[in-house]
Structure 1
């Protein structure tokens, strides 16, 4: 009974969000729409809990402001660099693929890293190895693979390791 109550309490915020979203998406407060939103709000959290393999363990949030500043700087700088690359004469791009060895083990941290890489113009996260130890990244203008790996690990992965231990 205690376990069931704990699962129900954990599902309350998600249930409320699903219920509110269902009502907002329907645009009406008819009985059928309310019933459907309620049915979804009671069902979806339990389905999602069964799919969840790992919970997010948050460590220190101290690196978060610095990481946000680094990301903002990198996005602005990369936008300018990509614009320059596009305007340069053809044949001067050096696209390439690089496997980034990961020290992150938390899947939520790995997901955040892949998202940060993809948010930066000129780079795209493409694949995670089955053992979660390598992330395949496409770089629009590859200078040196080792430099790319070192920058990603220092600028993004290191702070994320503190956030997601």
Structure 2
């Protein structure tokens, strides 16, 4: 069954879409729709990337809580930085963070985390995936930021996807 219908939901959606677009439910429409619903998912099944292998769900739960906390704290810090910009300008800077994480799903999660936390922007991933360029809104100590970023986000993601 899995060989002919690798994705049952996709096949059902294709058949429904075929019938809606044809605006008819005749025998020929059902037959052609069924052929499309079986053949299209079977042809694209090899293109589907493998799913992530998640390890250590408790580490994932802690990471989610840590990111939620960091979002709130960073939002307050960025807001305070914007309000006091007239007296002390934020020290925005680009930081190159060396990466040990190589899993594509882990890197995608790291990109999402970086984008969600206020004050950080994911700028560029090196072609060899060995380093990441991040812009930080207000940077006091580059080495401390890199150590904190790796400890809070990269290390748990390595455990989860490793």
When the two structures are superposed, what TM-score results if normalisation uses the length of structure 2? 0.76
Please tell me whether residue 138 in structure 1 is matched to residue 135 in structure 2.
yes
TM-score (norm: length of structure 1): 0.75
Q: Is residue 95–residue 139 contact of structure 1 (8 Å, CA) maintained in 2? A: yes
Give the drift of 1:114: 1.4
- Aligned in 2, Cα 1:70/1:45: closer, same or farther, shift over 3 Å? farther
Cα RMSD for the two superposed structures: 3.1
Unpaired stretches in structure 1, ≥5 consecutive residues: 24-28
Figure out how many residues of one structure are paired with residues of the other and give that number: 151
Structure 1's 7 and 62: CA in aligned 2 closer, same or farther, altered over 3 A? farther
Aligned 1:12-91 pairs, distance under 5 A: 12-13=8-9, 15=10, 19=13, 30=20, 32=22, 39=36, 43=40, 46-47=43-44, 49-50=46-47, 52=49, 55-90=51-86
2:115 to 104, 114, 118: 118
Matched, 1:160 2:157: yes
Unaligned stretches of 5+ in structure 2? none
